[in-house]
Chains A and B, each alone.
Chain A
Amino acid sequence: GAVVSQHPSWVICKSGTSVKIECRSLDFQATTMFWYRQFPKQSLMLMATSNEGSKATYEQGVEKDKFLINHASLTLSTLTVTSAHPEDSSFYICSVSEAGGMTTYNEQFFGPGTRLTVL
C-alpha cells in the first residue's frame, strides 16, 4: 500500500498561536487527501477533503477560516490550525486516495497522525 507521512508527529503550542501540519504521500501521486480529527476514545471525524490545485471542501460544522488547508502538489497537503485553543487539542490524521485508482479497492491510506496539545 501507499506510504503516507505526517509532520510533526506531536506538537505542543500556546493558546492563540497557529500550527501547521504536513501530510506527504511518499510513493504515489495523490489527487485527493483527507483530513480527519480524532478525540480520545472516539472515531475519526472527517474535517475536509483536499484536492490538488483547488479549494478544499469542508464538512459541515468545520470552520474553513480556522482550519486552513493547502494542497499545492500531488504529494503534499498542509493543515494549519489558526489561533489554536485548548478545545482544538486532538489527534489529526490525514489520508490519501490514489490518482487513477490503481489500488484494488480505491482504499484510503492513512498517515501516522499528529497529536496536537494546546495549552
Chain B
Amino acid sequence: GQNIDQPTEMTATEGAIVQINCTYQTSGFNGLFWYQQHAGEAPTFLSYNVLDGLEEKGRFSSFLSRSKGYSYLLLKELQMKDSASYLCAVREPYNTDKLIFGTGTRLQVFP
C-alpha cells in the first residue's frame, strides 16, 4: 500500500530553523513535492525533488534520499507567516501525474 508519514505538529520560534521530515513507502516514485497550505486555503507549491540531494530555494530547501524513502523540508529564518501546514506528496509514475499526499505537518511559529 501507500504510506507517507510526517509529524503531525511542530512548533518553532521566529528567526529559527525547522526541519520537517517525510518518510514514504509507495508502490512507485516519480518525484516528491512539498506544498504549503494556510488554513482554509489552497495548497501552494514549494519544492520538487526527483533526484537525490538538496534543492535550495531562498529560505526553503528540500532534500531527498530515494534509497531511504526519506525527504525533509528545511525552513530558515522563520517568520510568523510561515505558520501553516506543510504537505509532502509523492507522484506516482506511469504518466498519471497523480499525487499521494502525506499526513501533513502543522507548523506553529511563535514570536
> A residues within 8 A CB of B96?
49
CB<8 Å pairs between A and B, sample of 18: A34-B99, A42-B103, A42-B104, A43-B85, A43-B87, A43-B101, A43-B104, A44-B87, A46-B99, A46-B100, A46-B101, A91-B40, A97-B97, A104-B48, A105-B48, A107-B33, A112-B41, A113-B40
Within A14-56, the residues touching B (CB, 8 Å) are: 32, 34, 36, 41-46, 49
B35 partner residues in chain A, CB cutoff 8 A: 110
Within 8 A of B (CB), among A71-119: 91, 93, 97, 104-113, 115
Q: How far is the CB of B111 from chain A (nearest CB, A)?
A: 23
Q: Do B42 and A111 touch (CB < 8 A)? A: yes
Given contacts A112-B42, A113-B40, contact A106 B97 (CB under 8 A): yes
Cβ-based interface call for A61 (8 A): no
Chain B positions within 8 Å of A34 at CB level: 98-99
Task: Check if A107 sits within 8 Å of B48, measured CB to CB.
Answer: yes
Q: Say if the beta carbon of B13 comes within 8 Å of chain A.
A: no
Contact with A along B62-105 (1 / 0, CB 8 A): 00000000000000000000000101010000001111111110
Are the C-beta atoms of B42 and A113 separated by less than 8 Å?
yes
Question: B44 an interface residue at 8 Å Cβ cutoff?
Answer: yes
**Size of the chain A interface, CB-CB below 8 angstroms:** 26
B53 within 8 A of A: no
Shortest Cβ distance from A60 into chain B, in angstroms? 10
Chain B residues whose C-beta falls within 8 Å of the C-beta of A105 in the assembled complex: 31, 33, 48
Chain A residues closer than 8 Å to B31, beta-carbon distance: 105
Bound-complex Cα distance A45 to B96 (A): 16
Closest chain A residue to B31, Cβ basis: A105
Instruction: Give the residue name and chain of the A residue nearest to B46 (CB).
Output: A107
Question: Would A49 and B98 be within 8 Å (CB), given that A42-B104, A43-B87, A105-B31 are in contact?
Answer: yes
In angstroms, Cα B106 to Cα A63, docked, is 30
